[in-house]
Amino acid sequence: MRVLALASALFIVAQLGAQNCALAADITVYSPGIINGPLRKLAEAWTAETGNKVTFAGNNVGRIRTAVSTDAPGDVVVAPTGDFKDFSPKLASGSERPLGRIIFGIVVKAGGAHPDISTHEKFVAFVKKAGVLAYANPAVGSLTGGMVEEMLKRPEFAGVERRPIKGMIGDAIVRGDAEYGGGAITEELMAQGAEVVGPFPDALGLHVDMSAAVLKVSTAPKEAEAFLHYVTRAQAAEVWKAGGVIETPAR
């Protein structure tokens, strides 16, 4: 009798486990590399709590825009807030919400010099003295790289070499592609062996506000909405802040 009772209990446990696995969902999140550091940490925590798996796709803004416009299979889109006006027909009604602001910074290899870039004048003097500033290549879809490139075309940066690089800017600086790089602080914080010198001065106006929404084509809209709720709840604020994403200032 005891053997039969144990066998029955094990069968019930196995059945419950199978049901839980069947209830778990996989969602695909289109998000650019500039926000994936903190977003992946939150996704891992959500998966641990719910059993739902998150697959990241897109990796840069250009590919994400293409995916959304062509109704590529997916559940959540994360992108610059300015893109959501165009995305509107592709989004589940009422699902859009802000994630935060990504500021720009200067990155150097660990142990490198940390010049004073606290004001516009000091920042310009630093860049001109450095002579070269690297940034993610806009030709392959890097939004932030394109913003840095446009900044360097301003008259005050005349004579500075503009150096687009492959991949994330922090990784490029660690490789030795240049002494200094500029771009999204979120990317710079993800690079092992790199250090953030400091943020660009506010006067330069370089930042990216990010938002997220559920896609109409989602095959798991409830889970997608639950994921967005999880990553935007108050308890997630410290993860975003540690990853270089600050609260979007009120207008």
Same domain, 180 and 242: no
In this structure, is residue 17 part of a structural domain? Answer: yes
Same domain, 118 and 198: yes
In this structure, is residue 107 part of a structural domain? Answer: yes
Domain holding 203, by residue range, is 102-207
In this structure, is residue 173 part of a structural domain? Answer: yes
Same domain, 107 and 71: no
Residue 160 carries which DSSP code? P
Cβ density class 49-63: b for 16+ within 10 Å, e for less:
ebebebebebebbbb
Give residue 28's pLDDT: 97
Same domain, 201 and 163: yes
Whether the per-residue pLDDT at 251 is higher than 80: the answer is: no
Same domain, 188 and 107: yes
Same domain, 96 and 213: yes
pLDDT category, 23, cuts 50, 70, 90?
Answer: low
In this structure, is residue 53 part of a structural domain? Answer: yes
* Bridge partners, residue 52, by sequence: none
Q: Are 126 and 209 in contact (CB under 8 A)?
A: no
Q: Which ranges of 24-119 does DSSP label H, i.e. alpha helix?
A: 36-50, 61-69, 84-87
Give residue 5's pLDDT: 47
Same domain, 202 and 214: no
In this structure, is residue 136 part of a structural domain? Answer: yes
HSE-CB for 135 with a 13 A CA cutoff: 27
Q: Are 78 and 211 in contact (CB under 8 A)?
A: yes
CATH number for the domain harbouring residue 140: 3.40.190.10
Chain centroid to CA 40: how far? Answer: 9
Whether the per-residue pLDDT at 59 is higher than 90: the answer is: no
In this structure, is residue 160 part of a structural domain? Answer: yes
Q: Are 195 and 107 in contact (CB under 8 A)?
A: yes
Same domain, 202 and 139: yes
Same domain, 94 and 70: yes
In this structure, is residue 251 part of a structural domain? Answer: no
Same domain, 134 and 202: yes
pLDDT category, 21, cuts 50, 70, 90?
Answer: very low
Strands 161-165 and 132-136: parallel
Whether the per-residue pLDDT at 16 is higher than 50: the answer is: no
Same domain, 48 and 124: no
Whether the per-residue pLDDT at 140 is higher than 90: the answer is: no
Same domain, 197 and 223: no
**Count of structural domains, the chain:** 2
Q: Residue 158: what are its φ and ψ, rounded to 5°?
A: -55, 135
